[in-house]
Structure 1
């Protein structure tokens, strides 16, 4: 052989026993790695879940539970013209929430709603930004016409805040809603006697939220509007109180309801039931919410 030649020894092929031992060692390695990987993955997931829990507790907004009652529609007066309805199925409707600072009633904290209805852009009627959740908001003119939201049919009727066709104070939207078999009407900040066309568009009211403090209408005109709508329950709103003193509204005590029956309720909320409508028109005076 040459100097560059090298004897090559060929290794013998592995026996069956050697192959089996190699596969067993590889299997033990994979099993161990799998167990460790599973333990590591489980630890990571547990930490992720714990972190998410802390974030939810510390940073989330927990909204109040729906306050539906099976008997009928719950209505709550938060002061001034702000009415909050909750249907039997739990749909929450905020009507004319006031903007913070316009009156000295406290705004409910983190109050959720599915629907927000605003009659005019007057600051004491247009505080929809204070309502939580992701409500559908209908602002003044945008609410005019036939609408439906969350299964609630309602209609907005264009009216005025003064008797001069809105030349001084602008437009107002009257809202008529059908909830749990009853028809609710909120006159907003109506400032003129209703015409026959208005009455035809609004229709009969089972429950009428009636602004009685405006100086744009006489007492007689205010009560005539309620009479024209054939209201069964008449709920006076938006009248002069200590928290609303800056608005120059007429106090409720100055209003003479004449021969109408008057029921004073010892709470600021009331449940309206279709089977319990009064036979004759009745004024329902809700307890005034506490001021700031």
Structure 2
């Protein structure tokens, strides 16, 4: 099973002929969205940076609401959460997605802006691969991202929504997240192949993906 990063919060997860794409974006954010074809697209947050579903080919099923879904043998769960805190004038809704794909358990936090509640944490359950935002201005910052990681205890951590070349979003750097995590051996790779038998048993591992645009 192969994971590729396409910028911001957009990833493709592919196994055989089944492809899942998360949070495709509009090019108005300054990044070039590649041509992708998918069976399923998940949308976590209603903004141009997360919900440009029409740019993905293949007439995919689009999931953008809390609930449980199953297609092509893949189980999806959308969990209601918030992009910002109760202190803000208007709380904006976010959807956390868990994806059980051929025995690998993924969790994409979308534009999550707070730590998880006990109820959300219970719904998320065990996670093998966590896609975690660390951009500060549009989601949690690096320190809060670390707190969420400590809540979930995933085996693999893949950061997203940090500043990349070309982006016009006001985002924190990847280096800030890696420093807070005290992550080592994080040389970016073009793609990451996930195998159940090779997942770390004890400690979480941070994997940094180059944008495959």
Normalised by the length of structure 2, the TM-score is 0.91
Determine if the alignment matches structure 1 residue 107 to structure 2 residue 33: yes
What is the CA distance between 1:159 and its match in structure 2? 0.3
Larger Rg: 1
What pairs with 1:194-209 in structure 2 (closer than 5 Å)? 194-209=116-131
Residues 262 and 282 in structure 1, CA contact (< 8 A), matched pair in contact too: no
What does residue 10 of structure 2 align with? 82
The change in CA–CA distance for 1:103 and 1:168 in structure 2 (over 3 A counts) is: farther
Relative contact order higher in (CA < 8 Å, ≥ 6 apart): 2
Higher strand share: 2
Structure 1: state its 5+ residue gaps: 1-72
- 5+ long unaligned stretches in structure 2: none
Matched, 1:178 2:100: yes
Please give the secondary structure, in 2, of the residue aligned with 1:263.
coil
Deviation string, structure 1 residues 97-146 (Cα, Å, up to 9, x no partner): 11122232x2223x21110110011110001101111211112x2xx111
Could you tell me whether the CA contact under 8 Å between 2:85 and 2:91 is conserved in 1?
no
Number of aligned residue pairs: 210
User: Which residue of 209, 219, 226 corresponds with 2:142?
Assistant: 219
- Paired residue secondary structure (1:285): coil
Structure with a larger share of its residues in helix = 1
Residues 239 and 172 of structure 1: CA distance in aligned 2, closer, same or farther (over 3 Å): same
Could you say which residue in structure 1 is the equivalent of 2:73?
Answer: 151
Equivalent residue, structure 2, for 1:119: 44
The separation in 2 between residues aligned to 1:118 and 1:273, in whole angstroms, is 25
- CA-to-aligned-CA distance 1:43-72 (integer Å, 9 cap, x gap): xxxxxxxxxxxxxxxxxxxxxxxxxxxxxx
SS in 2 for 1:79: coil
Moved over 6 A (4+): none
**Secondary structure of residue in 2 paired with 1:178:** strand
Q: Is contact 1:190-1:211 (8 Å) kept?
A: yes
Task: Measure, in 1, the Cα distance between the counterparts of 2:185 and 2:117.
Answer: 26
The 3 A distance-change label for structure 1 pair 271 and 159 is same
**SS where residue 29 of structure 2 aligns?**
coil
TM-score normalized with structure 1 length: 0.68
Aligned pairs for 1:1-292 (under 5 A) are 73-87=1-15, 89-104=16-31, 106-109=32-35, 111-139=36-64, 141=65, 144-164=66-86, 167-168=89-90, 170-215=92-137, 216-244=139-167, 246-255=168-177, 256-267=179-190, 269-279=191-201, 280-289=203-212
SS of 1:101's partner is helix
SS at structure 2 position matched to 1:197:
helix
Offset, 1:203? 1.0
Alpha carbons 1:100, 1:127 under 8 Å: kept: no
The CA RMSD measured in Å over matched residues stands at 1.8
